[in-house]
């Protein structure tokens, strides 16, 4: 096709030159004709020479065919150059479109099995690239065997793709792939170093003369022809671009496989982690239930004076058990609605309050990190237990209000307010037994502080923990 375009270009230049010269011939013919007619001379060579001698201007006019032919040739040559440039641009555009089609199909690949779809686009694209092939094929290296082999499939220009078998390591195709250099056998009749001619003729049923293998990441792109020297260097370069596109696709398939394997491994690890967490939660819960049962047994066998510290320990274990259970059942890994958890804890503690003492909770929805749930739960448990034990002498009625809020700087504020007898005047804020000591210690873990306020009637105990809240 390139030869036809070149011939067409020469014909255009010659055509312009011929037309310019013929048109230039009209000037001397008409000028001499009018001169003969004006002098009433007959049309003969002698009269033409006579007129030419009498009027030297005719000699100038006689050069018109040469000048017009010359300038017409320049114009024709320019037109041919423009035509060749346009033709080259159109050809490159077709090549780019062909490569884009292959790349588009390649990037749709999800597995190596999708090579069939790529193969069909490959055939169409080779036609657009003006590759003069009889058969084209894709040879893929297969490492699933003890010795790596090439599994190859190919198709005729007008035929379907077929899976044909494999090559072993000593085959020229394998050597081409390992070296990364195209293997071109331009004429098997003249030179057949790998003894392919007979085999190819048997496989395809036609005498194959030219064979070309272009290596890419996972194999070779193969084309052959019944013509000798069928593939030019320009066409080999184009096929190398096609092979590069195939490399992109198969590397993408490898990446997808690696990603699928990685995701599968992560999913398996996650499932194992969930099983381990469930088992750990089950064992911890059982152990705490056993400890709580032992404490209950001890409380039933202990006198009233010794019961109080045991009941305190049981209450703390109960708060921790609720926290662990709520963490296990929580739907948002890493965060928890603290208000919902404390409402459940307060509901459980309500059963411990004597008749006539009411327990209320005022809360908002606040997110808190998992590792902070247990200490905050223990703090609330201790504050409520402290109010229950000290605010209301036996038989006195009253109210204990639990508040949960978020401060202006994002800090967590937990307070327990009672309307009981209040703290003794001689007692310092924060001084007390194990309960208040535990509250101070837990607040310190959260970088918080305990604030105690004597009211006109009752006491307000507040724990402020800055910067512990997660996103709402």
Cα separation, 147 vs 272, whole angstroms: 37
Which of the four pLDDT bands, split at 50, 70 and 90, describes residue 231?
very high
| Fold: same for 131-259 and 331-470 | no
Give the pLDDT score at 275.
Answer: 81
All structural domains of the chain with their residue ranges: 2-97, 131-259, 331-470
Residues shown for the chain: 472
* 331: confidence class by pLDDT, cuts 50, 70, 90: very low
- Asked if residue 380 lies in contact with residue 416, where contact means CB atoms within 8 angstroms, the answer is yes
User: What is the predicted pLDDT for the residue at 187?
Assistant: 92
Q: Could you please report the per-residue DSSP string of 220-267?
A: EEEEEESSTT---HHHHHHHHHHHHHHHHHHHHHHHHHHHHHHHHHHH
Q: How far, in Å, CA of 186 to CA of 192, rounded?
A: 10
Quick one: pLDDT at residue 146? 59
CATH classification (class only), 131-259:
alpha beta
Amino acid 111: pLDDT? 63
The pLDDT confidence band at residue 160, using thresholds 50, 70 and 90, is low
At 21-47, the pLDDT tens digits run: 888 888 888 888 888 878 878 878 787
* pLDDT interval class at 426 (50, 70, 90): low
CB atoms within 10 A of CB 461: 24
Give percent of the chain with pLDDT exceeding 90. 9
**Lowest mean per-residue pLDDT among 13-22, 238-247, 252-261, 399-408:** 252-261
**More confident of the two residues 58 and 111:** 58
CA nearest 240: which of 220, 210, 211, 218? 220
Mean pLDDT of the chain: 79
pLDDT value at 133 more than 80? yes
What one-character DSSP code corresponds to residue 465? E
- The DSSP letter of residue 391 is T
SS3 (DSSP) at 4: helix
Q: What is the rounded average pLDDT of the residues 287-302?
A: 81
pLDDT band of residue 153 (cuts 50, 70, 90) is low
Domain 331-470: CATH class, spelled out: alpha beta
């Amino acid at each position: 096709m390139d030869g036809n375009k070149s011939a067409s270009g020469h014909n255009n230049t010659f055509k312009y030159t011929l037309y310019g010269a013929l048109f230039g011939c009209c000037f001397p013919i008409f000028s001499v004709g009018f001169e003969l007619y004006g002098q009433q001379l007959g049309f003969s060579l002698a009269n033409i020479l006579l007129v030419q001698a009498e009027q030297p201007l005719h000699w100038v006019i006689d050069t018109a065919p040469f000048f017009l032919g010359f300038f017409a040739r320049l114009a024709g040559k320019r037109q041919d150059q423009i035509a060749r440039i346009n033709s080259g641009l159109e050809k490159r555009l077709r090549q780019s479109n062909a490569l884009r089609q292959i790349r588009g199909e390649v990037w749709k690949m999800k597995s190596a099995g999708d090579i069939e779809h790529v193969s069909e686009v490959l055939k169409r694209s080779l036609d657009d690239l003006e590759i003069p092939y009889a058969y084209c094929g894709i040879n893929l290296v297969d490492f699933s065997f003890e010795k790596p082999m090439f599994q190859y499939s190919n198709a005729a220009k007008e035929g379907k793709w077929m899976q044909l078998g494999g090559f072993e390591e000593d085959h020229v195709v394998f050597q081409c792939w390992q070296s990364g250099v195209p293997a071109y056998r331009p004429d098997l009749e003249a030179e057949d170093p790998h003894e392919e001619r007979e085999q190819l003729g048997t496989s395809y049923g036609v005498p194959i003369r030219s064979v070309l293998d272009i290596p890419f990441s996972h194999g070779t792109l193969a084309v052959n022809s019944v013509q000798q020297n069928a593939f030019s260097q320009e066409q080999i370069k184009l096929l190398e671009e096609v092979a590069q596109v195939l490399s992109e696709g198969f590397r993408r398939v490898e990446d997808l496989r690696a990603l699928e394997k990685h995701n599968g491994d992560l999913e398996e690890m996650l499932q194992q982690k969930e099983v381990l967490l469930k088992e750990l939660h089950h064992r911890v819960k059982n152990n705490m239930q056993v400890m709580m049962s032992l404490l209950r047994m001890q409380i039933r066998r202990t006198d009233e004076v010794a019961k109080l510290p045991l009941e305190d320990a049981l209450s703390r274990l109960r708060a921790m058990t609720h926290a662990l259970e709520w963490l296990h059942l929580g739907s948002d890994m890493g965060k928890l609605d603290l208000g919902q958890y404390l409402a459940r804890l307060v509901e459980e503690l309500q059963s411990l309050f004597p008749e006539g003492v009411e327990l209320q909770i005022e809360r908002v929805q606040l997110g808190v990190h998992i590792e902070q749930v247990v200490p905050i739960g223990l703090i609330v448990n201790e504050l409520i237990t402290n109010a229950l034990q000290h605010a209301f002498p036996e038989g006195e009625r009253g109210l204990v209000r639990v508040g949960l809020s978020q401060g202006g700087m994002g800090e967590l504020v937990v307070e327990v307010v009672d309307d009981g007898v209040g703290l003794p005047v001689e007692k310092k804020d924060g001084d007390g037994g194990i309960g208040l000591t535990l509250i101070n210690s837990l607040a310190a873990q959260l970088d918080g502080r305990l604030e105690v306020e004597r009211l006109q009637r009752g006491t307000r105990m507040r724990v402020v923990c800055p910067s512990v809240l997660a996103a709402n």
